[in-house]
Amino acid sequence: MLHALIVTALAGLATTLGGMAAVVRRPGKRIMALAMGFAAGVMLTVSLADMLPAALGEYLAAFSPWGAGLAAASLLCMGMVVAGLLEGVLPEEKAFRGVGDSQKARVLRSALVTALALLLHNLPEGILTLFTGVADPQVGLRLALAIGLHNLPEGLAVAAPLYYATGSRAKAVGAAFLSGLAEPVGAVLAFFVLGRFLTPGFLNGLVVLVAGIMSWVSVFELLPTGFGFDKKGWTATGFGAGLVVMALGISVLS
């Protein structure tokens, strides 16, 4: 149990390394447009090319193709609805004007939405890593390595916009750290409090739900914010780079 917990914690806290890389130098508008596009590409690829297919494979083993597709599509749409509701709870951009101009306020709000989405994303990841590590330490180690490498660009996605908006390295890295901390903390709480309720079906459903949330954040928050810098080519380039990096990572580590 202790070995599995340590491995899960290291995988989750890899977001901190990504956050530290993001604050080496305060980004300008071009780099921010690139970073927002990159974050969108990373989150969308993780959602649709990693999380969704894994859960869909489990559904196909239990239902007909139509039933599996309907279950996955329903949960994906439900996740988008949840993301829209969560986004609506956050204050409007004018509430963040203390950080500077309206563009920085928009970036800060997007950073908070992204951090919340990745926090939710990291919870089921931590549960899966811990439970796998307890059942089979070698498989758990491989899974933790894959998740840790995925978490590096996710930490960058959280920290870069926060650093741009606030100018605070501590806040940016701290946000990346907290988003990754959700993996070991959520895993421990789930193991001791919700262990008997965490069936494979429940976890699969949670994964698809979170994939819907992350897809919504990518399309409705990150990309519009990136295009708002009037550097559309840079945003599009970042988006493509995010797709390629995560697609290669998923392929190599699968």
Q: What is the pLDDT of residue 254?
A: 63
- The b-or-e profile of 5-27 (16+ CB within 10 A means b, else e) is bebbbbbbbbbbbbbbbbbeeeb
Structure token digits, residue 46: 């993780």
Output 226 or 200, whichever has higher pLDDT.
226
Q: What is the pLDDT of residue 75?
A: 92
Output 67 or 107, whichever has higher pLDDT.
67
Structure token digits, residue 90: 């956050």
Output 76 or 25, whichever has higher pLDDT.
76
The reported pTM is: 0.74
Rg (alpha carbons) of the chain, rounded to whole number: 18
Q: What is the pLDDT of residue 198?
A: 65
DSSP state of 201: H
Under the banding of pLDDT at 50, 70 and 90, the label for residue 222 is: confident
Q: What is the pLDDT of residue 1?
A: 64
Q: What is the rounded CA–CA span in Å between residue 88 and residue 85?
A: 5
Q: Return the axis-axis angle of helices 14-22 and 2-12, rounded to nearest 10°.
A: 20
154-191: per-residue pLDDT in tens?
Answer: 788 788 888 888 888 898 899 889 888 887 887 777 77
Alpha carbon distances (Å) from 76 to 40, 43, 120, 173: 17, 14, 14, 30
69-127: per-residue pLDDT in tens?
Answer: 999 999 999 989 988 887 777 666 565 555 556 777 777 777 777 777 777 777 777 77
Enumerate residues 6+ apart whose C-beta is below 8 A from 233. Answer: none
